[in-house]
Amino acid sequence: MAHENLDQEIVDMLVELTGEDELGDYRDVDLFEEEILDSLGAIEVLVTLKQRFGVSIAPTELEREEMNTVNKIVERVRERL
Amino acid sequence: MGFYTEPAFFIVTAVVVCIAIVIGLLQKPLHKFGLVASIVMLGLLFSESLASLVFFLAYLVYSLALEKYVERLFRMKDSRAVAKYRVALALQIAPLAVYKVGVLFDPTFLGFIGISYITFKAVQVLIELRDGLIESMQPWRYLYFLMFFPTFTSGPILRSRAFEKDLDRTLTRTEYLEYLYRGAGWFILGALYKFVGSALTGWLMWFAPAAIGGDTPGAFACAQLAYAFMYGLNLFFDFAGYSHMAVGVGFALGIEVPRNFRAPFLSVDIKDFWNRWHITLSYWLRDFVFMRFTTAAFEHSWFKSTVTTACIAYIVNMLVMGFWHGITVDFVAYGLYHGLLLAACELIQRKWGFYKKHKKDRWFRICSWAVTMIAVFYGFALFSGQALHPIAV
């Protein structure tokens, strides 16, 4: 399945999971530092990425600092599509 | 020869470290020497029990065979790879499970020192082969990873990918000197913990309750509290002591052993505590039990809410920790207790408005710290068995 507007799809997904409507405007904010995500939230992100984008990322594959912002999450998905 | 307890260990380790320093300063790779040193040290560890030695060697062969089998399953893209991997994983855990059950009936049941810790390492490799994070490991690297002597008996728990990264690096003289400097600091701190902190609290642990006496119910309660407090401190100094020394020896051998303790008595909540106490164990369980359980729970919608998923995952996670310590009422109660505490912490942090409003206030953090410490020290009393069987005074 093509994801023509991947950035927006991932932002929408993160907004849905975290309930933070403004997330799209703060794409380089550290989601863990700001307490928008915790380790459980991160797992929900990984599971949803697999379900929606078919991208499988193992829980120990990435360090937290490799997917702690919206832009980094988009980048990690793009690398794997 | 007991590791980190007998003078002989420290003498032989000093010789090993001296040779490592010469090799390191010559800017040569340290891994071959590290492997040979680990074989010698484990030979000395098992020298008093031929049965343990035989069982340990059989375990190494068995684990290597399982590792190569799983490696092949995914390399050959076997159509039933996942199912076969699960069988291999169960077989990898089986010796520890059999040992833990066996010692219930016969305290001399065949096992070997370090079987609990080596199992974590072997299991991690299999799981990450399945995840595609490890493609293959050369047999000598795999065996060195399992046998790395500084952490063999009591951790910290190494991860194979970080270990292999260290094996691939040849340090410059400046880098190695930096390693030695850091390693010496850890070793000295560990030795102080072990031989001063642990010795002192070990003595106070018995002296204080005896001095207080148990003539009245009040005195009896105070004596129990004094014992529980000293036991907790003693456990910390003892365990953190040899963990820190292991980090120190690891640096001398060119391996960055992860730290296992980070000021646990400053924890402001129980999640914070498990990020500071026996860190490599709690991170291992987080990565390979908690995260796997929650992933499966989310994927298959086992529970209605995220909070329920988290709470049940914490309880499962800590029960595994309890059973890993041993199949006894005290250890399992300790695991269940911490699982319930973590679940309660999760509920408070997600649902309690008062917490959200005041969590950064100084007074709230002090209260939270005090409650956490009471909970932690009661947990130690469960661990020691004192909570269910008070000490005689």
Nearest to B128 among A39, A43, A60 (CB): A60
CA–CA distances in Å: residue B135 to residues A26, B146, B293: 37, 18, 24
Q: In chain A, which residue's Cα lies nearest the Cα of B130? A: A58
Residue B40 within any structural domain of the chain:
yes
- Report pLDDT digits (tens) over B78-89: 889 999 999 999
Rounded to an integer, what distance in angstroms lies between the CA atom of residue B7 and that of residue B29? 29
Query: At residue B36, does pLDDT exceed 60?
Result: yes
The residue segments making up the domain with residue A23 are 6-80
The residue segments making up the domain with residue B329 are 264-384
Q: Do the chains contact at A60 and B306, CB–CB below 8 Å?
A: no
Residue A14 within any structural domain of the chain:
yes
Q: Is B128 on the interface with A (CB under 8 A)?
A: yes
**Chain B CB contacts of A58 below 8 Å:** 128, 131-133
Q: Do the chains contact at A58 and B132, CB–CB below 8 Å?
A: yes
Quote the number of domains for chain B: 2
Rounded to an integer, what distance in angstroms lies between the CA atom of residue B260 and that of residue B246? 10
- pLDDT at position B318 is 97
Residue A16 within any structural domain of the chain:
yes
Q: Assess whether B35 and B144 both reside in one domain.
A: yes
Which of A68-72, B16-20, B191-195, B214-218 bottoms out in mean pLDDT, i.e. has the lowest? B214-218
Query: At residue B225, does pLDDT exceed 80?
Result: yes
Portion of chain A with pLDDT greater than 70, in percent: 95
How far is the alpha carbon of A79 from chain B, nearest alpha carbon, in Å? 16
B362: buried, middle or exposed (CB in 10 Å: 19+, 13-18, 0-12)? exposed
- pLDDT at position B388 is 83
Nearest to A40 among B131, B287, B306 (CB): B306
**Chain A CB contacts of B131 below 8 Å:** 58, 60-61
Residue A59 within any structural domain of the chain:
yes
Average pLDDT in the B275-279 region?
A: 95
CA–CA distances in Å: residue B359 to residues B136, B311, B373: 46, 20, 17
- SS3 per residue for chain B: CCCCCCHHHHHHHHHHHHHHHHHHHCCCCCHHHHHHHHHHHHHHHCCCCHHHHHHHHHHHHHHHHHHHHHHHHHHCCCCCHHHHHHHHHHHHHHHHHHHHHHHHHCCCCCCCCCHHHHHHHHHHHHHHHHCCCCCCCCHHHHHHHHHCHHHCCCCCCCCHHHHHHHHHCCCCHHHHHHHHHHHHHHHHHHHHHHHHHHHHHHHHHHHHHHHHCCCCHHHHHHHHHHHHHHHHHHHHHHHHHHHHHHHHHHHHCCCCCCCCCCCHHHCCCHHHHHCCCCHHHHHHHHHHHHHHHHHHHHHCCCCCCHHHHHHHHHHHHHHHHHHHHCCCHHHHHHHHHHHHHHHHHHHHHHHCHHHHHHCCCHHHHHHHHHHHHHHHHHHHHHHHCCCCCCCCC
Contact A70, A23 (CB under 8 A): yes
Q: Do the chains contact at A58 and B299, CB–CB below 8 Å?
A: no
| Amino acid, res. B163 | F
Average pLDDT in the B286-298 region?
A: 93
**Chain A CB contacts of B291 below 8 Å:** 39, 43, 59-60
How far is the alpha carbon of B291 from chain A, nearest alpha carbon, in Å? 7
Q: Which of A27-41, A53-67, B258-272 has the highest mean pLDDT?
A: B258-272
Residue B313 within any structural domain of the chain:
yes
Nearest to A43 among B133, B288, B291 (CB): B291
Which of A59-73, B113-127, B139-153 bottoms out in mean pLDDT, i.e. has the lowest? A59-73
Rounded to an integer, what distance in angstroms lies between the CA atom of residue B205 and that of residue B232? 9
Residue A26 within any structural domain of the chain:
yes
- pLDDT at position B215 is 84
**Chain B CB contacts of A19 below 8 Å:** none
- pLDDT at position B379 is 93
B141: buried, middle or exposed (CB in 10 Å: 19+, 13-18, 0-12)? middle
How far is the alpha carbon of A74 from chain B, nearest alpha carbon, in Å? 20
- pLDDT at position A3 is 67
Is B389 known to be catalytic? no
Q: Assess whether B48 and B162 both reside in one domain.
A: yes
Domain boundary among B143, B168, B193: B168
Instruction: Please state the length of chain B.
Output: 393
**Chain B CB contacts of A47 below 8 Å:** 295, 298-299
Residue B62 within any structural domain of the chain:
yes
Residue B15 within any structural domain of the chain:
no
ipTM above 0.85, yes or no: no
Question: Which residues have C-beta within 8 Å of that of residue B172, sequence separation ≥ 6?
Answer: B27
Contact B338, B318 (CB under 8 A): yes
DSSP one-letter code for A65: G
- pLDDT at position B213 is 83
DSSP one-letter code for A67: S
Q: Do the chains contact at B291 and A51, CB–CB below 8 Å?
A: no
Q: Is A70 on the interface with B (CB under 8 A)?
A: no
Rounded to an integer, what distance in angstroms lies between the CA atom of residue B3 and that of residue B47? 13
Direct distance between the N- and C-terminal alpha carbons of chain A, in angstroms, rounded to an integer: 10
Residue B84 within any structural domain of the chain:
yes
CATH of the domain at A28: 1.10.1200.10
Residue A7 token pair = 């950035």
Residue A1 within any structural domain of the chain:
no
Q: Assess whether B156 and B42 both reside in one domain.
A: yes
Domain boundary among B137, B168, B199: B168
Residue B337 token pair = 């207790």
Query: At residue A45, does pLDDT exceed 70?
Result: yes
- pLDDT at position B130 is 95
Instruction: Please state the length of chain A.
Output: 81
Domain boundary among B152, B168, B184: B168
Rounded to an integer, what distance in angstroms lies between the CA atom of residue A71 and that of residue A65? 12
- Report pLDDT digits (tens) over B168-189: 998 999 999 999 999 999 999 9
Of the candidates B92, B96, B101, B124, which has an alpha carbon nearest to the alpha carbon of residue B112? B96
Mean pLDDT of chain B: 94
**Chain B CB contacts of A51 below 8 Å:** 299
| Amino acid, res. A48 | T
**Chain A CB contacts of B294 below 8 Å:** 40, 43
- pLDDT at position A2 is 63
Residue B292 token pair = 């796997």
- pLDDT at position A1 is 55
How far is the alpha carbon of B183 from chain A, nearest alpha carbon, in Å? 25
Mutation target for A interface from B159, B275, B286, B291: give the one with most A CBs within 10 A: B291
Quote the number of domains for chain A: 1
Average pLDDT in the B219-236 region?
A: 93
Residue A54 within any structural domain of the chain:
yes
Q: Do the chains contact at B298 and A58, CB–CB below 8 Å?
A: no
Residue B48 within any structural domain of the chain:
yes
Q: Do the chains contact at B128 and A58, CB–CB below 8 Å?
A: yes
Contact B314, B346 (CB under 8 A): yes
- pLDDT at position A24 is 85
Residue B328 within any structural domain of the chain:
yes
Residue B185 within any structural domain of the chain:
no
Of the candidates B72, B78, B42, B75, which has an alpha carbon nearest to the alpha carbon of residue B57? B42
How far is the alpha carbon of B276 from chain A, nearest alpha carbon, in Å? 16
Residues 37-66, chain A: which have Cβ within 8 Å of B?
Answer: 39-40, 43-44, 46-47, 50-51, 58-61
Q: Which of B31, B278, B300, B325 is catalytic?
A: B325
- pLDDT at position A34 is 87
